[in-house]
Amino acid sequence: MGILSLLSGIWGGLIRLPLNLPLPANNANWITFHGPLMVCGFLGTVIALERAVGLQTRWAYAAPLLTGAGALTLVFGFLGPVGPALFTLGSAAFLIVTLRVVQLQRAFFTVTMSLGASAWLTGNVLWLVGWPVNRVVLWWVAFLALTILGERLDLSRFQRPVRWAPPILIASLALFLGGIILSVFEQTPGERLAGIGFVSLALWLGRFDIARRTVRQEGLTRFMAICLLAGYVWLGVAGVLLVCFAPLGFGPGYDAVLHAFFLGFVFSMIFGHAPVIFPAVLNLPVAFRNHFYGHAGLLHASLLLRVMADLSGWGEGRQLGGLLNAAAILLFLVNTVTSLRGNSKIYSTRNSRSCSRTTSTGQGA
């Protein structure tokens, strides 16, 4: 259901570029719901599934099943509030799952992930009651940013602590979340404040994430670190763009802010973590190969083209960049699936040291 949501969401995004592509039985949902399909239908379902696998409790699967069902209603063209309602129920179930994780392990990183789940639920409730996507999208951004931050904090616990890192992190989070809450009442100042929070979080992650050290290693560990560091650069870029283009509405500025975050930051994280998350969720080994740099390089180069084209008003450049963004995601799926079928020896001999650990919330490290 998640993958179906991803593919139909990408198709809808390509039509919005605009590219002249057909739609099944004139189902305009794919265009209108490009954002919700990508964020709630794909990312929400996959994240909730990963957490359910980590928790190893049957009821936790309610969350991905509900959001997956919500995605199906949008993909197959049911109008009305059914899809948004299913996403809302799914995110409420996911919040309960994250609270259970907090109960099992009281730690800053589990609370951060739970805050992310609350942000997702808030965005979905606002969307369900009729707020437009451009007014709820920052809540969805907060869901993904806090989930990823929580995972990185979990993995960075093994580093020697720096005394002044926690207060700076809390100040950055206060700016980021305070800005998003303020944006509900005062859109432009709130979004600008949130943008400063993005930059501050990006600098914090770039300075304190373990990736700064692991980038000097080899193989999969190095690949993951490069994806993470590139993602932090895009998070900072998204923040600067948000400060410049607030209030979020539509058009090239909107496109640049959202995709610097969703493609540059979130998908770079997905590309980096996929070789260890797939084995954890599907129980299948992934053979890391150097051509993984192909989909990662294509993603960043095409996004740079798209954002530059957005900023300079070059329509064809934006279309080409968007098309190549989609190609990068498809190439990633092909490279990952073909590596899943690959021989497990490559995985276990070259990368076992960096990939075999499973974290306290059940994710591969």
Alpha carbons 362 and 49: distance in angstroms, whole number: 11
- Applying CB under 6 A, which of residues 114, 325, 335, 361 lies at the interface with ligand HEM? 325
307 binds ligand HEM (CB under 6 A): no
250 binds ligand HEM (CB under 6 A): yes
331 binds ligand HEM (CB under 6 A): no
Alpha carbons 306 and 263: distance in angstroms, whole number: 11
236 binds ligand HEM (CB under 6 A): no
- Applying CB under 6 A, which of residues 329, 339, 355, 361 lies at the interface with ligand HEM? 329
95 binds ligand HEM (CB under 6 A): no
Stretch that binds ligand HEM, among 105-113, 177-185, 220-228, 320-328 (CB under 6 A): 320-328
Min separation Cβ 247 and ligand HEM, Å = 13
C-beta closer to ligand HEM: residue 21 or 170: 21
Alpha carbons 333 and 35: distance in angstroms, whole number: 20
254 binds ligand HEM (CB under 6 A): yes
Stretch that binds ligand HEM, among 12-20, 48-56, 197-205, 231-239 (CB under 6 A): 12-20
- Applying CB under 6 A, which of residues 258, 270, 274, 280 lies at the interface with ligand HEM? 258
Range 42-61, binding ligand HEM (CB under 6 A): 43
Which residue's structure tokens are 């923040």? 239
Alpha carbons 80 and 312: distance in angstroms, whole number: 38
Min separation Cβ 295 and ligand HEM, Å = 12
246 binds ligand HEM (CB under 6 A): no
Comparing CA positions, the residue from 293, 315, 296, 295 lying closest to residue 305 is 315
Alpha helices in the chain (DSSP H): 2-16, 29-32, 34-36, 45-55, 62-75, 82-104, 108-128, 133-156, 165-185, 187-208, 211-214, 219-245, 252-259, 268-282, 292-312, 315-340, 344-355
- Core vs surface per residue 152-167: b (16+ CB within 10 A) or e: bbbbbeeeeeeeeeee
Q: For binding to ligand HEM (CB under 6 A), which residues are involved?
A: 10, 13-14, 16-17, 34-35, 38-39, 43, 133-134, 137, 250-251, 254-255, 258-259, 262-263, 266-267, 322, 325-326, 329
